[in-house]
Chain A
Amino acid sequence: MQTDNMILSIQKVTKNFGAISAVSDFSMDVKKGEIHCLIGPNGAGKTTVFKMITGVYPPTYGKIYLKDRDITNLSTSKKMKMGMSIKMQVPGVYSELTLRENIRIAAQNFTEEKMIEEEIERLIDEVGIRDLGNPKVKNMSHGQQQWLEIAMALAAKPELLLLDEPAAGLGPDETDFTANLVLDLNAKGMTILFIEHDMNFVKKIAQNVTVMNNGKFFAEGDLDSILNNEGVAEIYLGKEAKVC
């Protein structure tokens, strides 16, 4: 089933919560080096798919492969040491600690102690948040927390970076900053899979798009084909509308 250029392959996964099926028979592949977007209306099951990939929810059925290895039943902590990392929908930061302490917690599991300070500085520069100083995270804006969390996610030196709504709650300038950041990371060879509702953000960075609806696969293709797909426009905005 696997090919050399696939980094992630999700095959017929289903997630049931009791009698409710949040995701049903869903499949998608992510190629190495691409920026792949997962879109769909609210409640489509996108975040549930992310949680199955990371192991927060074990799939009820189906298989998930990372770099040709079956990771379906691995624990979250093991999966995160296999070259994958995530920025969550709600910023998953440690609000009572400082910016550098946050990055340290993320980095120390992947970096030798004697190199930890250098690694923290490298991550700060990579994301471009040096100007923020070292505030307590609870005093940072939502956008700044999003960037911090991306820096923390990068601490795992991931080959595959999952971003759950990286532009949510950001202003236009902050959205541009985030888009450029994602493009920079991709230019360095990192594969990005992200969920996003902001179609302007999607148009700026996405190369391929998978659409979900009601927990199921709906469509897949390059950005243009999805933007021109009438079915996608319909599930997003109703009949007579277009996504763009």
Chain B
Amino acid sequence: MGNRRVFTSENILAAIFWLACCTYPFLHNTYFVNNFTYYFIMIIFMMSLYVLWGFTGIFSFGQAAFFGAGAYIYGIVSKINPDNSALNILGILMAVLICFSAAAILGMFIYYGHISANFIGIITFCLSLVLQTFMTQTSGPEWQVLGVPLGGYNGLNAIPSISIMGFSFEKNSMYFLCMALAFVFYLIFRKMQHSRIGYMLFGIRENAERSELFGYNTAWISTLVFAAGGAIAGFAGVLYASWGSYVVPSTLGTSISFIGVIIIALAGRYSITGATLFTFIYVWFTRFLASQGSAYSQIVQGILLVLIMLFIPRGIGETVFSLGDILIDKLIPKKKVKKDQVQKEVTRYAD
């Protein structure tokens, strides 16, 4: 609250990260740039869960349902006529709007139905599982939407890239689009952390009943947040479908949901910067292990995850930033300031 320091390890690492991302395409070939584009999509997907779990304490195990739904909706609408740029835009809008509406309806049942927080994870998990199972069996010719076959286990292929006014986002331009969007989401959520909305959501996360007694309509707020999370996940799904040109039923499935949960659990629920950087590192690391072709890669991942959970329970992000700040305090001598200013700062930042 109030005045905050600029030269924190969080700010420094964030600046280095985003600057490095800006320069990356100029230093590497298209193959690597294309891979990195996927990392930004996963960052946006992670943020859809972060706004729920990190800000508001809503544990969703089914964000992939909205991610996959967004990908499918965009794929279907844009494939009606791949050359029609307007349909492409319509596909994006419909994906976001439908995911928002579906999440809002589900959220209303959950929050106005006073369903226990423990069951939200189970309900969202089931949603993801049901959608994946359903889409898997849509292989017959009778399974078409707007004339586009759903493709069953094989899903949709040859999905057009996002196109605005005739400009198609592919390769490097897709990289910069996804990076810019991830950066915008990152800035919004960082700003939110110390805003009126942020504190309102933190209050609901920490003690929803108490927040209700401070005059907050927690059911309405939680429903809106749940809907916003669904919309962001759906939007990430649109980017995914555009990036890969395909979507399959497993995109709706639990394994992608697990990735989001694991990333936020390990990175920590209290730092959007930590979660963003860790998403990048985690996705890169898992891909790196997979590329080694070793059957033990998932075992290595599992062991690392358990170790982090055991020894860094508040998450890597917050721990690294705390240690970094201690280091910065030692390296950079503080300016001499008046005694009353020190007292004011101590009062503000004690603990």
Which residues in A have some Cβ–Cβ distance to B below 8 Å?
Answer: 54, 56, 75-78, 80-81, 85-86, 88, 92-98, 100-101, 104-106, 108-110, 113, 117, 130, 133-136, 139, 152, 155-156
Contact = CB atoms under 8 A, between A and B. Distances in A.
A93 B206 CA distance: 8
B2 A117 contact: yes
B351 A136 contact: yes
A135 B207 CA distance: 18
Contacts of A85: 213
Given A97-B206, A105-B200, A88 B213 contact: yes
11 contacts: A56-B212, A77-B217, A88-B210, A93-B210, A105-B211, A133-B347, A134-B348, A134-B349, A135-B350, A136-B351, A152-B214
A105 B351 contact: no
A75 B207 contact: no
A110 B215 contact: yes
Interface of B is mostly: helix
Contact of A156 (B2, B202, B211, B215): B215
Contact of B216 (A95, A96, A109): A109
Nearest to B1: A100
B1 A101 contact: yes
A77 B215 contact: yes
Interface string B196-240: 100110110011011111111110000000000000000000000
B203 A139 contact: no
Nearest to B196: A108
A75 B209 CA distance: 12
A123 to B, nearest CB: 13
Contacts of B1: 98, 100-101, 104, 117
A100 B53 CA distance: 23
Contacts of A96: 206, 270
A75 B215 CA distance: 9
A134 B199 contact: no
Contact of B346 (A77, A80, A106, A133): A133
Interface residues of B, number: 26
B215 A101 contact: no
A92 B207 contact: yes
B111 to A, nearest CB: 13
A56 B212 CA distance: 9
B207 A94 contact: yes
Contacts of A56: 209, 212-213
A26 to B, nearest CB: 21
Contact of B347 (A88, A109, A134): A134
State the 6 A-B residue pairs at the shortest beta-carbon distance, nearest first.
A92-B210, A94-B206, A133-B350, A80-B215, A105-B203, A77-B217
Contact of A76 (B196, B199, B212): B212
B200 A101 contact: no
A238 B126 CA distance: 55
A86 B213 contact: yes
A54 B213 CA distance: 8
A87 to B, nearest CB: 9
B193 to A, nearest CB: 11
B341 to A, nearest CB: 15
Contact of A106 (B2, B202, B209, B214): B214
Contacts of B270: 96
A81 B210 CA distance: 14
A104 B207 contact: no
A109 B213 CA distance: 11
B351 A134 contact: yes
Nearest to A134: B350
Given A134-B350, A136-B351, A155-B214, A97 B202 contact: yes
A86 B213 CA distance: 7
B210 A101 contact: no
B199 A105 contact: yes
Nearest to A104: B199
A88 B211 CA distance: 12
A85 B347 CA distance: 27
B217 to A, nearest CB: 4
Nearest to B195: A113
Contacts of B211: 105
A85 B214 CA distance: 8
Contacts of B200: 105, 108-109
Given A94-B207, A98-B351, A77 B212 contact: yes
A109 B204 CA distance: 13
Contacts of B218: 77
A28 B139 CA distance: 68
B351 A135 contact: yes
Interface in B85-105: none
Given A92-B209, A94-B206, A109-B216, A101 B199 contact: yes
Q: Which of A86, A100, A113, A135 neighbours the largest number of chain B CB atoms within 10 Å of its CB?
A: A100
Q: Which of B2, B196, B210, B216 neighbours the largest number of chain A CB atoms within 10 Å of its CB?
A: B210
Q: Which of B214, B270, B346, B351 neighbours the largest number of chain A CB atoms within 10 Å of its CB?
A: B214
Given A117-B1, A133-B351, 9 more contacts: A56-B212, A77-B215, A77-B218, A80-B215, A94-B202, A96-B270, A109-B215, A109-B216, A135-B350
Q: Which of B196, B203, B213 neighbours the largest number of chain A CB atoms within 10 Å of its CB?
A: B213
